[in-house]
Structure 1
Amino acid sequence: MRVAQIGSGTPELAILAGIHGDEPCGVRAVERLLEQRPAVERPVKLVVANERALEQQVRYVDEDLNRAFPGNSDAETHEGQLAAKLTDELEDCLTFSMHSTQSHNEPFAIVKDVTDTARELCPQLPVAAMVETGNFSEGRLFTEIDTIEVECGLQGSETAAENAYSLTRAFLTATGALPGDTVSRDLPVYRLVDCIWKDQADTYEVFVDNFTRVEQGDSFAAADGEMQVADEPFYPVLMSANGYRDVFGYTAEKLDVLSSPTAAD
């Protein structure tokens, strides 16, 4: 784990990258901030988490770090120990954690709950949606630390790296660490409802777009050509043919549309 800081004082904000070693976009955003050293009005902690997985260019070494929290310093796995160190390091910091995905090219935010902080900040970020994980939060960082996660774009893409930097700047502006105003936008909010499981197969297909309503009776995916049909309407989230080993993604319900203030406080 690598930890740095911009600005003087005790940080109450943290930028986190490299939870997964095959998602380098956030690391590049952190490196750009360290090169530029912008004059901040609040100190900011910068953390690159799973350096061992990043070096190997794998999602994790022993187990998924974002399913390992709160961790344990005596854990038998690398990520179990690292989760405990990260929990201590990020204590008392509002944390902005960057990821990338194989399912959707537009950035979107993920939160444990739609808190007042999420309602205030997420509409000020350049994201297409906010997703509440609901019952699918176990082991994630935001079960221990006040966190806003963002999916920055397609894994390994240059666009995701650029998005990560823009999202980080927007977060720092919205929280008052950087001067300036944020862009106002309306933001749809979804809550995960259920997993869409995969049968064992050689080929997988997805026929729907994330955050676009699927109607009852629509075919939305296939495993070796065998169609899966919607029993009831839903919104697909994190849907992809090969992003996850056991699931296509998640069904979600639409909760609300949030409106942003005209400028950051």
Structure 2
Amino acid sequence: MRVAQLGSGTPEIAVVAGIHGDEPCGVRAVERLLDDRPTVKRPVKLVVANEAALERQVRFIDEDLNRAFPGTPDAKTHEGQLANELVAELEGCLTFSMHSTQSHADPFAIVNGVSETAKDIVPQLPVTAMVETSNFAEGRLFSAIDTVEVECGLQGSETAAENADRLTRAFLTAVDALPGDTVRRELPVYRLVDVIRKGQADTYEVFVENFTEVDAGAPFAAADGDEQIADESFYPVLMSPNGYQDVFGYAAEKLEVLETPTAAD
């Protein structure tokens, strides 16, 4: 784990990259901040988490770090021990954690709950949606640390790296660590309600677009040509043919749309 800091004092803001070793976009954003060394209005902690997995360009060494929190110092896995160290490092910090995905090119945010902090910060980020995932938060970083996660774009793409830099600077501006203004966006909010599992097969297909409602009775995916039909309407999130080993993605419900404030006359 690599830890650095912008500014002096005790940070209450942190940026984390490299939770997964096959998602380098956030690391690029952290490295650019360290190269640029912008003047900050409040100190910021910068963390590159799973250096061993990044070096091998694999998602993890022993287990998924983002399912291993809070971890223990005597864990039998690399990630179990690292999770414990990372929680100690981030204690007391509002944390911004960057990821990438194989399912959706446009950035979106993931939160453990639609808190006032989330409602304030996430609409200031250049994202297309906010996903509340408290039903599936066990073992994730935000189960232990106050965290806003972002999916920056398609895994391994240059666009994801560029988005990670843009998202990080928007976050730091929103929390008053960098000077400047943000643009507040109208933002749809979704809640994950179910896992969409897939059986063992040679080929997988997905017929639907993430965040676009699937009607009851519509086919949405197939394994070896065997179609899966929606029992009821849902919004697909993180749906892709091969993003996860045993699931297509998640079913979500749409909660609300966070409106942009109306300027006073």
| Aligned counterparts of 2:203 and 2:255: Cα–Cα separation in 1 | 33
| Aligned counterparts of 1:132 and 1:184: Cα–Cα separation in 2 | 19
1:121 correspondence with 2:141: no
Partner of 1:24: 24
How far the C-alpha of 1:261 sits from its partner, in A, is 4.9
The question of whether the paired residues in 2 share the 8 Å contact of 1:134 and 1:193 is answered with: no
In the alignment, residue 206 of structure 1 is paired with which amino acid? Answer: V
Partner of 1:246: 246
Partner of 2:82: 82
| Residues 141-193 of structure 1: CA deviation (Å, up to 9, x unaligned) | 00110000000000000000000000000000000001111012100000000
State the SS of the aligned residue for 2:136.
coil
Partner of 2:257: 257
% identical equivalent positions: 77
* TM-score, with structure 1 as normaliser: 0.98
In the alignment, residue 77 of structure 1 is paired with which amino acid? Answer: T
1:3-82 to structure 2, matched below 5 A, reads: 3-82=3-82
Partner of 1:132: 132
The question of whether the paired residues in 2 share the 8 Å contact of 1:17 and 1:26 is answered with: yes
The number of equivalent residue pairs is 263
The question of whether the paired residues in 2 share the 8 Å contact of 1:191 and 1:255 is answered with: yes
| Aligned counterparts of 1:258 and 1:17: Cα–Cα separation in 2 | 27
State the SS of the aligned residue for 2:134.
coil
The question of whether the paired residues in 2 share the 8 Å contact of 1:182 and 1:262 is answered with: no
The question of whether the paired residues in 2 share the 8 Å contact of 1:124 and 1:260 is answered with: no
| Aligned counterparts of 1:213 and 1:186: Cα–Cα separation in 2 | 19
Structure 2 gaps of 5+ residues are: none
The question of whether the paired residues in 2 share the 8 Å contact of 1:213 and 1:236 is answered with: yes
Partner of 1:225: 225
| Aligned counterparts of 1:69 and 1:184: Cα–Cα separation in 2 | 32
* TM-score, with structure 2 as normaliser: 0.98
| Aligned counterparts of 2:38 and 2:59: Cα–Cα separation in 1 | 30
1:185 correspondence with 2:185: yes
| Aligned counterparts of 1:135 and 1:119: Cα–Cα separation in 2 | 19
Structure 1 gaps of 5+ residues are: none
State the SS of the aligned residue for 1:252.
strand
In the alignment, residue 55 of structure 1 is paired with which amino acid? Answer: E
State the SS of the aligned residue for 1:9.
coil
How far the C-alpha of 1:134 sits from its partner, in A, is 2.4
Cα distance change, pair 129–79 in 1 and its aligned pair in 2 (3 A): same
Q: Over the residues paired in the alignment, what is the CA RMSD in angstroms?
A: 1.0
How far the C-alpha of 1:262 sits from its partner, in A, is 8.1
1:91-170 to structure 2, matched below 5 A, reads: 91-170=91-170
Partner of 1:205: 205
How far the C-alpha of 1:129 sits from its partner, in A, is 0.3
| Residues 39-89 of structure 1: CA deviation (Å, up to 9, x unaligned) | 000100000000000000000000000000000010000000000000000
| Aligned counterparts of 2:201 and 2:145: Cα–Cα separation in 1 | 38
